[in-house]
Amino acid sequence: MKMYDNSAEAIFFFNPKGHVIAMNESAKLILDSDVLSRMAEGEQNAFCMSCKGYTNEQDLITCQSCYLVSPQDDFSSFQVYLDTRGKGITPYTASFQTIDEENGIRVFMLRDLTKQFKTQAELNEKTMTKSVIKAQEDERKRISRELHDSVAQEMLSSLVDLRVLKYMDINQDVLKKVQQTEGSLMRLLEDIRFLSVELRPATLDDLGLEAAFRTHFKWIEKNYGIVIEFTAELQAKRYEGEIETVVYRICQESVFNAVKYAGVDVITVRLFEESDHLNLAVTDNGIGFDLNSRTSIGTGLGLYGMRERAELVEGQLSIQAEIGKGTAVYLKIPLETTVVKEGEKA
């Protein structure tokens, strides 16, 4: 009786005619007052006013072969939806069994699945996001290698042919045109190499974070004239591919945001381990911005994407910014057993 009175599960007792003859306090709390009053008056099938159907092998919600009128079927464990007081339509895991054969008394027990459904939805969302990002990175890698191994090589071959023309017996006008075309192809080749690296740097997969960052920062310094003060304290350690990708993408986005909006000549990047966590810090002393502002410079999707990526590896991303005092992006990822042996490819 103590379990019946104090259980968080809703418990109903039905007679052979489908009338509710008793219920505990938890059961009373989930039913609308109108339904309770009709039950008290002995109205047949009053419970059906709250029930929105159950789940079987064919349908998510159905009333066919209802558990109330088909006691011969196995309803020892199933899922049912009830229109509950103050919560709307709620999923429950249910059990409906005969406990008194002689008098035909059956017990109906319900446990709220809202929390479990929410957890499952969050897990499915995270799994889906991981799959999408992995597919994106795989496609980036494929296109990057295609640009590098195919398109760039064809460009180099064309450049060699053009340079051979310069040593042939041609007039000055043709030579000048050849030289102009050579310059255009050189710039195009440089753009292709940059796109290849931006899509997915080969150094990230082959040599790890430190090497990928150094290559990327050299390109930024060359093309934007901004100094990246980079400090790595990893001793050439490698990590799981997913972690390395997350750290690289978040750093890449943070640095580009600083390049485009901070108005600085120096950006500081530090990569280090501390207390079984991999840490990234990207800071600048630029113009900063208001974190609470509803309007943002750019699309605002970059910060959202960074947070989403960090969550995939259970990381913590924090952004500190103040107008006139710069911006700092901090990423902290728990390592546990994710470290790969030094020099070993993740």
pLDDT digit string, tens, across residues 27-64: 888 888 888 888 877 777 788 888 898 888 888 888 88
Q: Would you state the pLDDT for residue 338?
A: 44
Element (H, E) at 266: strand 266-274
State both tokens at 294: 């509803």
Look at 180 and 114; give whichever has higher pLDDT. 114
307-311's contacts with Cβ under 8 Å and 24+ in sequence apart are: 308/129, 309/133, 309/246, 309/249, 309/250, 310/246, 310/250, 311/126
Confidence of residue 230 (pLDDT cuts 50, 70, 90): very high
55 vs 74: CA distance, rounded Å: 13
Q: Would you state the pLDDT for residue 121?
A: 84
Q: Would you state the pLDDT for residue 180?
A: 79
Distance from chain centroid for Cα 157? 42
Strands 78-84, 51-55: pairing is antiparallel
State both tokens at 22: 């008793």
Strands 227-233, 266-274: pairing is parallel
Q: Would you state the pLDDT for residue 341?
A: 45
**pLDDT score of 302 more than 90:** no
CATH of 2-112, one of 3.30.70.580, 1.10.1530.10, 3.30.450.20, 3.90.1150.10: 3.30.450.20
Look at 327 and 140; give whichever has higher pLDDT. 327
**pLDDT score of 300 more than 50:** no
Distance from chain centroid for Cα 283? 25
Q: Would you state the pLDDT for residue 346?
A: 47
Number of Cβ within 10 Å of residue 83's Cβ equals: 16
**pLDDT score of 196 more than 70:** no
Q: Would you state the pLDDT for residue 267?
A: 96
Query: In the predicted model, what is the mean pLDDT of the chain?
Result: 83
Task: Tell me the one-letter amino acid at 285.
Answer: N
Confidence of residue 194 (pLDDT cuts 50, 70, 90): low
Q: What one-character DSSP code corresponds to residue 46? A: G
For residue 53, which of 88, 80, 89 has the smallest C-alpha distance?
80
Confidence of residue 279 (pLDDT cuts 50, 70, 90): very high
Is residue 93 within 8 A of residue 276, CB to CB? The reply is no
**pLDDT score of 299 more than 60:** no
Number of H helices, E strands in the chain: 10, 13
47 vs 28: CA distance, rounded Å: 12
Instruction: Tell whether pTM > 0.75.
Output: no
The CATH superfamily assigned to 208-346 is: Histidine kinase-like ATPase, C-terminal domain (3.30.565.10)
262 vs 324: CA distance, rounded Å: 10
Confidence of residue 339 (pLDDT cuts 50, 70, 90): very low
Tell me which of 74-88, 94-108, 196-210, 286-300 is least confident. Answer: 286-300
Confidence of residue 197 (pLDDT cuts 50, 70, 90): low
